Amino acid sequence: MRNAFIQELVSLARQHPQIALIVGDLGYSVIEPFADEFPDRFINAGVAEQNMTGLAAGMASEGYHVFTYSIANFPTFRCAEQIRNDVAYHRLPVTVVSVGGGLAYGALGYSHHAVQDYALMRTLPGMLIAAPGDPMEVRACMRYLVEHPGPSYLRLGKAGEPNFHAAPPDVAPGRWLKLRDGTGRSVLLSTGAGLQIAMDWVQTEEHAARSVYSMPLWSMASKASQAALLADYDDIVTVEDHLEDGGFGSWLLESQAMNTGISCRIRPIALNHVVCGTVGSQATLNRIGGIVP
């Protein structure tokens, strides 16, 4: 996903001279193609994420679309006040990019476990969540974010994720992307790295009859659009590498609660909070957290 992100960012920057990239002294071996081609639009803010975000907001107020880039919780929780007050409040075109969502950096411990980031970012009015499930969805989300500039959060994995789409799909906030046809009115609906997990769950006997969908773009505003989609199914299981509280499944349950006439059952597959105090590989922690079959 990181490689797809930087490749797409470079391609888009050739077409859009307002695109800029600011990093928090991280991302080397990934971000060099942008830094080398657009040195006047690349800034290393150092290990100072609050300053990085304030700088991004200032540049955005002058016409730039700024991407801030760091790993796990550093560009989100460490500078939550600046995102809230400087970016979201003023509805500025700043895309916060977090690499290593979920437990991708699980071996580095709780400081690097990005398992509460949806809960933080989705409460900010006007904030668009972009959580692609494969490299093709990364490219699609990037194109959408540039065409619709505003406060946004792009959550990426690390590297080596498989492609489930043959080409970048047509994405929009709240839109479901079908990956697999099932045999009934039951669905596995994922966001972000949950797509890989959903494709594993559908191999089990319990979920074999389900269709699989991915939702890479969602927001506070797109909850209302879910009513018509939910009405088509009886049983929906959401899949995410995030704690259940405040996550994607909670978001969908909230959308259901806003429409009391919808009777479908929604059940989240999400991480158990036990992972917060555990160190291990991503695969090990996903298994301990209960999101892999």
Q: Three-state SS across 198-227?
A: HHHHCCCCCCCCCEEEECCEEECHHHHHHH
Q: Does 18 have pLDDT greater than 90?
A: yes
Residues in the chain: 293
Residue 76's pLDDT is 98
Q: What is the pLDDT of residues 41-53, one digit of tens each?
A: 999 999 999 999 9
Q: Does 66 have pLDDT greater than 90?
A: yes
pTM of the model: 0.96
Residue 184's pLDDT is 87
Task: Give the mean model confidence (pLDDT) for residues 198-212.
Answer: 95
Query: What is the pLDDT of the chain when averaged over all its residues?
Result: 96
Specify whether the CB–CB gap between 100 and 72 falls below 8 A: yes
> What does R_g of the chain's alpha carbons equal in angstroms?
18
Residue 269's pLDDT is 96
| Residue 60 pLDDT grade (very low, low, confident, very high; cuts 50, 70, 90) | very high
Q: Does 69 have pLDDT greater than 90?
A: yes
Bridge partners for 219 per DSSP: 128
Bridge partners for 269 per DSSP: 239
What is the share, in percent, of the chain residues with pLDDT greater than 70? 100
Residue 129's pLDDT is 98
| Residue 201 pLDDT grade (very low, low, confident, very high; cuts 50, 70, 90) | very high
| Residue 143 pLDDT grade (very low, low, confident, very high; cuts 50, 70, 90) | very high
CA angle 168/218/4 to nearest 5° reads 35
Residue 46's pLDDT is 95
